[in-house]
């Protein structure tokens, strides 16, 4: 990455290199039986350059040909996209506790055993079909730029999803169990799924009309993803968000309050975002070739 950044800095006014590595495994059980085990791994790198006020970009999954990769970014300058910004000098960032190193030693066999255990707990206690899936994911990101920024982060997640299907349908009662590292699903979690499923088997006919609705905490995501979509920066930039022109306007009932705290971590773990100190002055001595 350092060599690529040096080359880009000699060919442009400023540059940024972004690298991403992801790996994961997934296990699925259908009707209480093992159905599939899948493993995936991928990596990629992107390059952004700014030259004469215009932005160039290139992406690759294989950094064998650095010169060709850089040339792709230089060729994209022909698109005439105005930069309108400068790459930042980032030296101090909050420590994010997003990674549990123990997940690296989690074998697929252990995930299969846990899914099997969940199936064995649920199957004899209900007539509904039991489907269970679990995933283990790790990711690493590093960002370097010609202003001296050099930051990296690692993340991990283990998630198990247990569901009980209603008769003659694929609708179900389901609940995820998510942590940064492997943790066995507690009995109370599975009992909640069972009790909710059994209570939902009884159908009640009601009259139509306006009425109050009570949502389970997990159902909040079905509402929040709509808010996430309309406030997504890309959707606003592409002018497809219905709230893009409503800054400082009221769009929700005053009884609803939403706030975003990216540092709020409900789980415990180790690791996080790290910063490599650049040379004094937070600036790399890269000179564009004349």
What are the pLDDT digits (tens) for 2-19?
999 999 999 999 999 999
Higher pLDDT, 52 or 205: 52
- DSSP assignment of the chain: -HHHHHHHHHHSSEEEEEEEEEEEEEEEEETTEEEEEEEEEEEEEEEEEEETTEEEEEEES--S-HHHHHHHHHHGGGG--B--S-------------B-GGGGG--HHHHHHHHHHHHHHHGGG-SSEEEEEEEEEEEEEEEEETTS-EEEEEEEEEEEEEEEEPTTSS-EEEEEEEESS--PPPHHHHHHHHHHHHHHTS------S-------GGGHHHHHHHHHHHT-HHHHHTT--TTTT-TTS--S-TT------TT---S--B---EE---STTT--------
pLDDT higher than threshold 50 for residue 272: no
pLDDT category at 287 given cuts 50, 70, 90 is very low
pLDDT category at 280 given cuts 50, 70, 90 is very low
What are the pLDDT digits (tens) for 152-180?
999 999 999 999 999 888 899 999 999 99
pLDDT higher than threshold 50 for residue 270: no
% of the chain exceeding 90 in pLDDT? 64
pLDDT higher than threshold 70 for residue 289: no
What are the pLDDT digits (tens) for 235-247?
988 999 998 888 8
pLDDT higher than threshold 80 for residue 117: yes
pLDDT score at 245: 87
pLDDT higher than threshold 90 for residue 262: no
pTM, two decimals, is 0.79
Average pLDDT over residues 139-162: 94
What are the pLDDT digits (tens) for 50-70?
999 999 999 999 888 999 999
Higher pLDDT, 32 or 274: 32
pLDDT score at 282: 56
pLDDT category at 268 given cuts 50, 70, 90 is low
């Amino acid at each position: 990455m350092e060599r690529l950044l040096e080359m880009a800095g000699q060919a442009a006014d400023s540059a940024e290199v972004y690298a991403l590595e992801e790996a994961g495994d997934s296990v699925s059980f259908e009707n209480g039986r093992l159905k599939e085990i899948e493993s995936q791994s991928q990596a990629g790198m992107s390059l952004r350059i700014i030259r004469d006020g215009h932005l160039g970009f290139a992406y690759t999954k294989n950094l064998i040909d650095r010169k060709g990769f850089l040339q792709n970014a230089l060729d994209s300058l022909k698109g005439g996209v105005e930069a309108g910004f400068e790459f930042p000098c980032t030296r101090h960032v909050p420590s994010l506790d997003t990674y549990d190193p123990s997940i690296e030693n989690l074998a697929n066999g252990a995930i299969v055993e846990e899914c099997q255990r969940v199936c064995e707990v649920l199957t004899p206690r209900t007539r509904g079909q039991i489907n269970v899936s679990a995933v283990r994911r790790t990711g690493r990101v590093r960002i370097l730029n010609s202003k001296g920024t050099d930051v990296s982060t690692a993340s991990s997640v283990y998630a198990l999803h247990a569901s009980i299907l209603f008769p003659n349908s694929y609708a179900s009662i389901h609940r995820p169990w998510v942590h940064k590292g492997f943790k066995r699903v507690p009995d109370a979690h599975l009992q909640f799924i069972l009790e909710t499923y059994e209570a939902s088997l009884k159908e009640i006919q009601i009259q139509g009309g306006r009425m109050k609705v009570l949502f389970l905490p997990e159902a909040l995501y079905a509402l929040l993803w709509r808010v996430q979509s309309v406030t997504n920066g890309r959707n606003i930039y592409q002018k497809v968000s219905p709230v893009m022109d409503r800054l400082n306007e009221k769009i929700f009932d005053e009884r609803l309050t939403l706030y975003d705290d990216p540092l709020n971590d409900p789980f415990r773990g180790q690791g996080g975002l790290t910063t490599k100190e650049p040379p004094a002055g937070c600036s790399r001595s890269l000179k564009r070739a004349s």
